[in-house]
Structure 1
Amino acid sequence: MVRDSSEQIEEIVWNVQGKGEEVHFEAGKPGPSVLQYEYDPMGNRLAKKKLYVDGPADIRSEGQYYVRDPQGNVLAVYQYNEENIALVDDKDSLYLEELHLYGSARLGILKKALALRYRDESGTANWSIRTLAKTTLAQSSYQQLELGRRRYELSNHLGNVLATVSDKSLGQDSSQTGQADYYLAQVSSASLYYPFGWEMPGRKFVSGEDYRFGFNGQEEDPDIHGGGIVFKYRTEDARVARFFAVDPIAAQYPELTPYQVASLSPIYMRELEGLEGILSTNVGIDFRAQLKVSFTIGGRDGYSTSGSASVGMNVRTPMMGGHLNASINMYHNGLGTSKLG
């Protein structure tokens, strides 16, 4: 795809990795005029920039920078704003927007909104450099705990983020005594999806800021076709259940379209970073068949022989990491057996 008139996209520029590098919108379309993306050598997104072009010398820019670990996991997201990129000394700003929380997998996000660089009304640049100082009990008799900035995600077996809750508990005084009898979690967001990731209209609840991740635990980009789903290798248009680019390993699956999502089995399979569908659980599907034949052969001199043969087969489809086993067992007069596997 190089353009999309229905979405007022004039041109899409692709890089050598098959990932969108620039998206140019038609004049008059609300929102940014150009989207720009930058990636590392592994294909992970490092930056997203939105350009608002109001004239040759009046171009406003905003976007995000991503900081990742060696495995590609997002550690932090920075937000920047430039009032006019045509000026060397414009009123730009930089904020630490998010820190991502992990255990064995991602747990959630810590919202920071910490200003690192900003310009005041006089145009003077200010850098707010924060350092961590050692604190002991002798220096301070109390500690400050700020609640409500963390968002923990609740996912299903496919990794779809169905809800997020904050670290702030809401006390419930059911007995009217002025004290909390029990606590409820503060729900920050909740979403329901169609099988291939499109959010159901009217089935999304957000309290405060929206959550970055959704279907299959992937980042959602609201500026792409009403909400593109960003995998490592490709971006999906969830409305039509297909990717914008060809599958990098399409040659391994000639039976599938190169634009398919989750091997067209979104109920029990999840998408592996834009490559192929993988089982979301350890449960496979077995196809078993067995055939047993008994026979008796009589000779002209009254001699007879009897025996049986059985063939068993166990098949698991290749996309499920499966295998094919076949065995043949033959018995002759109950004395001998042979096996082929």
Structure 2
Amino acid sequence: MPEWPVYTGANEPHDGIARLPAPPPWRAFDGGPPLPPPADGDDDAAVSPDRVHRAHTYRAGPESVQLVNAALYLRRPLLVTGPPGTGKSSLAYAVARELKLGPVLRWNITSRSTLADGLYQYDPLSRLYAAREAGTMRVEDHLRLGPLGTALLPYERPRALLVDEIDKSDLDLPNDLLNVLEEGQYEIPELARAGGESEVRMDGGSDLKAPIRRGRVRCRAFPFVVLTSNGEREFPPAFLRRCVTLRLHRPDETQLAEIVRAHLGEPDADARALISRFLSRSRTGELATDQLLNAIYLTGAAGLDAPTRDALAHRLMPRLDGSPDSDAH
């Protein structure tokens, strides 16, 4: 039977993804041969302490849970917009952990990022040197799939892909992504010209390889794609209509207490005082939640007296948008 919600936000891993109903006919993919889902340990970077901690401690609100499930059901990317420090990227790790999607593939966007960077990297010079020294001309030895290219392999279960800070890209990248995310496939011309089947290294911290036939990659289970944006630019309508859009807001006092509880345990009186100060300062300037967590942890762990603790906490929570500190100590 279909299951709603597949992602619950309860942060307990389960196999609900296996009960996801068939996709809409216009989002059905049939790539092959099917690949088994990777194990968590297959990507050393994806199991770093930071990423593991994010996956365990993230707390999703009701709207986030609903729209994550909408993206999963519709096989559409999830565009997550909000101020810094609201948990946009952490959401991808939490969903991947709960639904057992394996290591999160991460593509950090800069102004120089291109679609090709996300799909695969090819080094023709290393191939030329290898041909001169060893007489080999195997194209696949000099190719490596990028995070987007790896996510679109024909996995039996969706992979999780985080495209972080897409609003930093140049104007062309969102439009360039349209066709690949719509079609769920791409071509590697260097392999297409060679023909046959190749074994190509995948993105991640391991040397696992994937079989690719005649240079074409087509997904089987559309990946769970999270695109994050700080809201610094507008995206083309054609791009927006192909995404499920989630807007995250700054957490209120109750939500902040829950975040502190998840990361550092039950907040004491001093921690609650810092939460109140954080909320007061955020009304007149931009702050990120990790600034609050740093202040609570450090001022508590150091065992400081009240005046020193308050002064240090103030220094750890500067407004990120340059707003003046009228409440400076």
- After TM superposition, is the score higher than 0.5? no
Query: Of the two, which has the highest radius of gyration?
Result: 1
TM-score (norm 2): 0.30
Hey, which of these two has a bigger chunk of strand by percent?
Answer: 1
> Higher relative CO (CA 8 A, sep ≥ 6), structure 1 or 2?
2
